[in-house]
Structure 1
Amino acid sequence: MTESIQARPLNVRSPSKTDFIEQYQNVRRFSEYLCEPLVTEDYVVQSMPDVSPTKWHLAHVSWFFETFLLFPAVPGYQSLHPQYAYLFNSYYNTIGERHCRPDRGLISRPTVEETYRYRKYVDEQVLELLTKIDEQRLMEFAPIIILGFHHEQQHQELILTDLKHVLSCNPLSPVYRTRPSASTSDVPELEWIPFPEGIYWIGHEGEGFAFYKEGGRHREFLQSF
């Protein structure tokens, strides 16, 4: 299942419309694949202030594409609901006011079903845009589209880490996803790996995607460890 929806690396030298469409669909499908084992009640729990409900993650990444791609690129674009921008903004203060993070678990509406409807609405609009947009405009919006891919992948990690805490709080010890027991016979013993003192290059290099805080590449002195 996962092999068929995993996103392959985007051709950063000369990405095509097909590349963008395929990457978008794969990234979005994988978020929903992660939610397949859940029941409705699992989507809405906020077990501590630093945890966000799964429903919120699914809506927030849709809000990201809507806010930073659809509104600027599609003349007259209308959101499915005018208040979603307030509910699903995270920390983008320059975009507008936002709902208090520790209270995300208090949002019973939109429902899980309505949240998926919102995702579908955004998906339809983005795919229509990617299909019709000319190459020049595509390259203009390429940086924000690619950022959106990686932003959603960040939230895929958060969905899992947040769910881990949510399920850990349940006395019934529910299992997120059942799988066959792995053999431990071939697992090597753990050992420390020493690193000598020296000057090392750190930071991103190359043409692939990186967040701004991962660059620029520079040298750093490290003590041995």
Structure 2
Amino acid sequence: MITPDPAMAGPAFQPPQRAGSGDATATARPPPTARTVTPAADLRPLLAARFRRIRTVTGQLAAPLTPEDQMVQSAPETSPVKWHLAHTSWSLERHVLERFAPGYRAFDDRFAFLFNTCVEPQPTCHPAAARGLLSRPGHEELRQYRDHVNAAVLRLIDETPDADWSGVARRIELALQHEQYCQERLLADIKHAFWQNPLRPTYQPPQPAALTTAAGQSWSVHPGGPEGIGHDGPGVVFDLEEPRHVVWLEPFRLSGRLVTNAEYLEFIEDGGYADATLWDPDGWATAQREGWRAPLYWFRRGPDWFQFTLSGTRLLDGEEPVCHVSWHEAAAFARWDGRRLPTEAEWEAAAQPLRRTGNLLDYGRLHPAVATCIGDGPWQIYGDCWEWTSSPLIAYPRWSPGDKTVGEHAGLPAAGRMVLKGGSALTPGDLVRASFRHHLTPASRWHMTGIRLAEDV
């Protein structure tokens, strides 16, 4: 294992044993304070250490899985683990090495077709929905591919002339953040794959819980007024987080913690999935067509509800945050509760003063935890669950795509996506920030998505 530089944010992820073994016992660690490294000409060793750490974590996340596990694609919107391993290498190859490394030779020219990010079938890439058909290249060849790219990037960090360093370092940092985004996708996708398997395999052993009872709901009041939204400052971010701009907010209240499983169960038992008046038309049609009666990964045996997790199947814990709900379900719950989802700007205004810590990937739990609610709220802003907002993903005023587009973050995606904020228990700790704009279609459920409520004052 590569030892991370102590100056980098967060420890390397410690992988569980191979899926289903159940022999290892992991110890939870307190989450680190997240921060983003700003590449500069005198920070080559730090960037090299950060590169090694993030690339190592990706390999560690895949380590518990068999080659057969790594090939499964359980839905058109998911990807096999082996594809993620190759795609993150292709991204570095395409957006860093081909552009900045003189004389770089691709490991295999065919990989540009196989591991590109095209969603719709195009002549330049393999169809996204058919990634599970790629039995070749094999496991060993993809390991060699990652090693080839790793060596070339480290050589580039070491040999780039000082005059070119700033641009190269920024591009590498952006590619690393893209890889961290893919780390979360990898875990979400393998969870969905294991859920489809009748054996319901486990990715890691059960993790200890720090608390057993969630605090009662409380509310944080924001006075409203002009607020700066978006990124503006040092560090490298995706172009959709810029430019920073001022918005006007009316006074509002934000719930102190996320909605719990027990609270969502009340919605179910009160007929929430049978009451069309609570749902937007598209959501109601989707829920009926898909047969939704509870969040993804919930199921009932007799009087008891169970939940599938990366640590296997267990009784539903009513005190934990509800997760794996779509935007349609989150909006219906909020309407049933007499509240609403926060806007993106409201959430970001509330989050900006808060420390970027929480139950994130670095913690190792890989599942939402009971809210601690220590000190002043709101709590669980970072980690546990991505929080749906009522805001569609649109470009900010005066936005233009810059020279920072990488992979899935290449400019403005197709319309019809809703913004989520805050990160989840699968998100790397130094990727989260108030300005980060995760986005999914309203019917998406396989990401670790939850609910925070808001209301007007």
The answer (yes or no) to whether the contact 1:44–1:108 under 8 Å persists in 2 is yes
For residue 12 of structure 2, what is the amino acid of its counterpart? I
The answer (yes or no) to whether the contact 1:8–1:23 under 8 Å persists in 2 is no
1:31-42 equivalences in 2 (<5 Å): 31-42=58-69
Greater shift, 43-52 or 7-16, is seen at 7-16
The answer (yes or no) to whether the contact 2:118–2:127 under 8 Å persists in 1 is no
**Is 2:32 the counterpart of 1:5?**
no
Q: Percent identity?
A: 35
1:29 match: 56
1:72 match: 99
Quote how far apart the aligned CAs of 1:192 are: 5.2
Greater shift, 116-125 or 211-220, is seen at 211-220
Q: Distance in 2 between matches of 1:120 and 1:141?
A: 20
For residue 159 of structure 1, what is the amino acid of its counterpart? L
Q: Distance in 2 between matches of 1:38 and 1:190?
A: 39
**Is 2:132 the counterpart of 1:105?**
yes
TM-aligned CA distance change 1:133 to 1:35, over 3 Å = same
SS of the residue 1:40 aligns to: coil
Q: Distance in 2 between matches of 1:4 and 1:181?
A: 19
| Structure 2 counterpart of 1:50, from 60, 71, 77 | 77
2:447 match: none
1:146-157 equivalences in 2 (<5 Å): 146-157=173-184
For residue 194 of structure 2, what is the amino acid of its counterpart? L
Q: Distance in 2 between matches of 1:166 and 1:195?
A: 41
Quote how far apart the aligned CAs of 1:4 are: 4.1
Structure having the higher helix fraction is: 1
Q: CA deviation digits over 1:91-129, x for unaligned, max 9?
A: 399xx8111100111111001221111101111111122
SS of the residue 2:248 aligns to: strand
The answer (yes or no) to whether the contact 2:118–2:126 under 8 Å persists in 1 is no
2:141 match: 114
Gaps of 5+ in 2: 5-9, 14-33, 253-454
Quote how far apart the aligned CAs of 1:190 are: 4.3
Q: Which has the larger radius of gyration?
A: 2
Report the TM-score when normalising by structure 1: 0.87
Quote how far apart the aligned CAs of 1:38 are: 1.0
2:436 match: none
Quote how far apart the aligned CAs of 1:79 are: 1.3
Quote how far apart the aligned CAs of 1:175 are: 1.2
For residue 5 of structure 1, what is the amino acid of its counterpart? A
1:152-171 equivalences in 2 (<5 Å): 152-171=179-198
SS of the residue 1:103 aligns to: helix
Quote how far apart the aligned CAs of 1:12 are: 4.2
Aligned length: 223
Quote how far apart the aligned CAs of 1:178 are: 1.1
SS of the residue 1:19 aligns to: helix
| Structure 1 counterpart of 2:166, from 128, 139, 142 | 139
Quote how far apart the aligned CAs of 1:188 are: 2.4
Greater shift, 186-195 or 174-183, is seen at 186-195
SS of the residue 1:167 aligns to: helix
Greater shift, 194-203 or 52-61, is seen at 194-203
TM-aligned CA distance change 1:167 to 1:192, over 3 Å = farther
For residue 182 of structure 2, what is the amino acid of its counterpart? H
Q: Distance in 1 between matches of 2:139 and 2:172?
A: 25
TM-aligned CA distance change 1:28 to 1:207, over 3 Å = same
1:201-216 equivalences in 2 (<5 Å): 201-216=228-243
SS of the residue 1:76 aligns to: coil
1:87 match: 114
Quote how far apart the aligned CAs of 1:181 are: 3.0
Gaps of 5+ in 1: none
TM-aligned CA distance change 1:14 to 1:73, over 3 Å = closer
TM-aligned CA distance change 1:195 to 1:175, over 3 Å = farther
The answer (yes or no) to whether the contact 1:69–1:144 under 8 Å persists in 2 is yes
Question: Which stretches of structure 1, 4 residues or longer, exceed 6 Å deviation after superposition?
Answer: none
The answer (yes or no) to whether the contact 1:17–1:131 under 8 Å persists in 2 is yes
Q: CA deviation digits over 1:154-177, x for unaligned, max 9?
A: 101111111121111111111111
Report the TM-score when normalising by structure 2: 0.45
**Is 2:247 the counterpart of 1:220?**
yes
TM-aligned CA distance change 1:139 to 1:200, over 3 Å = closer
For residue 238 of structure 2, what is the amino acid of its counterpart? F
- Cα root mean square deviation, aligned: 2.6
The answer (yes or no) to whether the contact 1:65–1:122 under 8 Å persists in 2 is yes
